[in-house]
Amino acid sequence: MARRGSTLLPFHLYLLLLTILTPNPSSSAVEDDVKCLQGFQKSLSDPQGTLSSWTFANTSVGSICSLSGVSCWNDRENRVLRLQLPSMSLSGPIPSSLQFCPSMTHLDLSNNRLSGPISSSICDWLPYLVTLDLSNNQLSGPIPPDLSNCRYLNTLLLGENSLSGAIPSSLSGLDRLTSFSVASNRLSGPIPSSFASDFSSSSFDGNSGLCGRPLGKCGGNGGLGRTGLIIILAAGVFGAAASLLFAFGLWWWFFRSRKKGGNGEGWVERLRSHRYAQVSLFQKPIVKVRLADLLAATNDFDAGNVVDCGGSVLGVCYKAVLPDGSALAVKRLRSSSIGVSEKLFRAEMVRLGQLRHPNLVPLLGFCIAAEDERLLVYKHMPNSSLASIIHRSGRAGAALDWPGRLRIGIGAARGLAWLHHGCQPPFLHQSMSSSAVLLDEDYEARITDFGIARLSRWGAAESNGVGDAGAVSNALIDGDFGGDLGYVPPEYASNPVSTAKGDVYAFGVVLLELATGQKPLEVTGNADEGLRGIWLIGSTGSLGAVGVLRGKGYDDQILQFLEVARGCVASMPRERHSMYQVYTSLKSISDGHGLSDQYDEFPLKFGKNDPDLQE
């Protein structure tokens, strides 16, 4: 059967976002799903005793997830995802209690003895259905036209029943159907024309009253008169003319597209030509998400949707606005960052997608749109980057007070320390900068771009003929530094191989930016001499470089903060702190300011050893 594309606006991206980001449901939702299954159990005859094994004495969170045939979204909540009870000899009408399982996406009651009509309200009960399999039962009556309201259906199987009447033309609106069957029923009338090219005759066989493609023609008088021949000839002439006009239109479109591509927008045209490419997501989606959905959500990657979400050296980021007003961030990687095979790129994306921490920007998914187009999907951070906040013109940077700056520094340190000390093997950032520190809706620091710089080194290893998997893995962990010039440590001039102490140096520059409000090149000038000038701030007690922060009751804390920064930007790597030491030092400063680990979503469990000293 042919696959059918979708042209729908990506409302389902909003549903996916809810799946990934919303907290546990309320107790009323838990009670509803229990009520759904209790009603289902009572409504049907169950000769095999499958439903009889369901017990509801314990209604605690996750209790119904172990019932036979029931799958939940996860084991920590009672939201039914799938109800799969095929070949159980169940009999009776389709239970109306299904209306209390509104989160269900898969319903399989095939090969049973269900009878009566299919309720016209089933899509109101289960609006997010992806699979509906009611085949091989004893259902009767018409196919409800309102099935078209189950807009996320990929599979609709109604064969081997006693359904009658016509196939509703409204089902043509189910643009995501890939599997469809109404075979062996009592249906009659013409098959909707949109089904002709999408599904084979096996989807409609066994209905003597059905006609039209892909089955036999409908009606006919066995011959054509003079008038009929004239009509056919006229239609042929008209069709030929229309074909010529269509061909000319295609040529003109292609010419315009090539011309537009010459103006630097050809990559968008390439993406459009791959609009049915699937977006791979790390959380279980309700429906498949395609590149076409990202194109629609970003207004075809319009320049007006460009947002600040990390270092521009690695790629450009676009805000993807969902129909409800919420947003994702889609980063188009620069070609220099994607010189790797599809297989290795996918493997690295899966690894990055597994990294979850409250001070990291979560990578939600990715899309391989063409040979040289790679897109990353992130959670959108509404308050831009630290670099934008403290360096933009106007009063935005000045409005960020010392408690806010200290909190951002602690959060960023916590995230980078977790990469270094909480992952095995230690995970290097390799492009740390104030642009890589994003701020969420609460101005909590979230680190982004971790691991992306390694892709360019990986690609270089492949192009140089490195085929051994272990060598490629080492290249990923020890890859070339991909950061901005102002954050490059001195030792990289002679040995440009990334290390944890290189990350620490770059983070120290970020701390100096937080305290002084100066850009790295303004601070460093001569990459070594300028930084020594900043170190003197911490050792002499001078606060001349901290500008508007001076004299507001935090001078002692700022000096301690600068002392931590100085320990990060030492000339010799062995003299620099580890990120664990940086985090604990900043936390000790915050104790006098009332900040605590309340911002952690889970406990920190660091290994205190230096990752650069590990074998």
Chain segment 45-85, per-residue pLDDT in tens = 999 888 988 988 876 666 788 888 998 866 666 788 889 99
Closest CA to 85 of 123, 117, 37: 37
Please give the pLDDT value at position 445: 94
Task: Give the whole-angstrom CA distance, residue 506 versus residue 523.
Answer: 13
Q: Is the pLDDT of residue 86 over 70?
A: yes
The angle at the Cα of 433, spanning 430 to 434, to the nearest 5 degrees, equals 155
* Higher per-residue confidence, 217 vs 138: 138
Q: For residues 569 and 524, is the Cβ–Cβ distance under 8 A?
A: no
Give the best-scoring range by mean pLDDT among 257-271, 295-309, 582-596: 295-309
Please give the pLDDT value at position 501: 92
- 3-class secondary structure, 157: strand
Q: Give the tokens for residue 360.
A: 């990291």
Q: What confidence tens digit (pLDDT) does each residue in 357-382 have?
A: 999 999 998 988 876 788 899 989 98
3-state helix/strand/coil string of 297-342? HCCCCCHHHEECCCCCCCEEEEEEECCCCCEEEEEEECHHHCCCCH
Domain ranges of the chain: 21-211, 239-273, 281-613
Task: Give the whole-angstrom CA distance, residue 115 versus residue 136.
Answer: 11
Residue at token pair 């990506």: 10
Q: For residues 378 and 331, is the Cβ–Cβ distance under 8 A?
A: yes
Please give the pLDDT value at position 438: 94
Q: What is the mean pLDDT of the chain?
A: 75
Please give the pLDDT value at position 398: 55
Q: What confidence tens digit (pLDDT) does each residue in 7-35 have?
A: 333 444 444 444 444 444 444 446 788 88
**Per CATH, which fold does 21-211 belong to?**
3.80.10
Please give the pLDDT value at position 359: 94
| For the chain, counts of helices (H) and of strands (E) | 16, 20
Closest CA to 90 of 135, 140, 50, 36: 50
Please give the pLDDT value at position 12: 43
| Beta strand pairing call for 363-370 and 373-379 | antiparallel
DSSP string, 341-388: -HHHHHHHHHHHHT---TTB--EEEEEEEETTEEEEEEE--TT-BHHH
Closest CA to 97 of 54, 138, 135: 54
Task: Give the whole-angstrom CA distance, residue 290 versus residue 296.
Answer: 10
CATH entry, 281-613, from 1.10.510.10, 3.90.400.10, 3.40.50.10130, 1.10.8.50: 1.10.510.10
* Higher per-residue confidence, 311 vs 373: 373
Residue count (the chain)? 615
Task: Give the whole-angstrom CA distance, residue 315 versus residue 607.
Answer: 33
- Rounded percentage of the chain residues whose pLDDT exceeds 70: 68
Q: Give the tokens for residue 590.
A: 């915050």
> 177: which residues sit within 8 A by CB, 6+ positions away?
4, 153, 154, 155, 156, 198
Please give the pLDDT value at position 408: 94
- 3-class secondary structure, 597: helix
Q: Mean of the pLDDT values across residues 252-275?
A: 58
DSSP string, 394-422: SSTTTTS-HHHHHHHHHHHHHHHHHHHHS
Please report how the helices 555-568 and 500-516 are oriented relative to each other, as an axis angle in degrees rounded to 10.
Answer: 150
DSSP string, 202-262: GGTTT-TEEESTTSPPP---SS--HHHHHHHHHHHHHHHHHHHHHHHHHHHHHHHHHHHII
Q: For residues 465 and 445, is the Cβ–Cβ distance under 8 A?
A: no
Q: Give the tokens for residue 433.
A: 């900068």
Task: Give the whole-angstrom CA distance, residue 99 versus residue 180.
Answer: 24
* Higher per-residue confidence, 483 vs 448: 448
State which amino acid sits at residue 545.
A
Confidence category of residue 415, pLDDT binned at 50, 70, 90: very high
Confidence category of residue 409, pLDDT binned at 50, 70, 90: very high
Please give the pLDDT value at position 265: 56
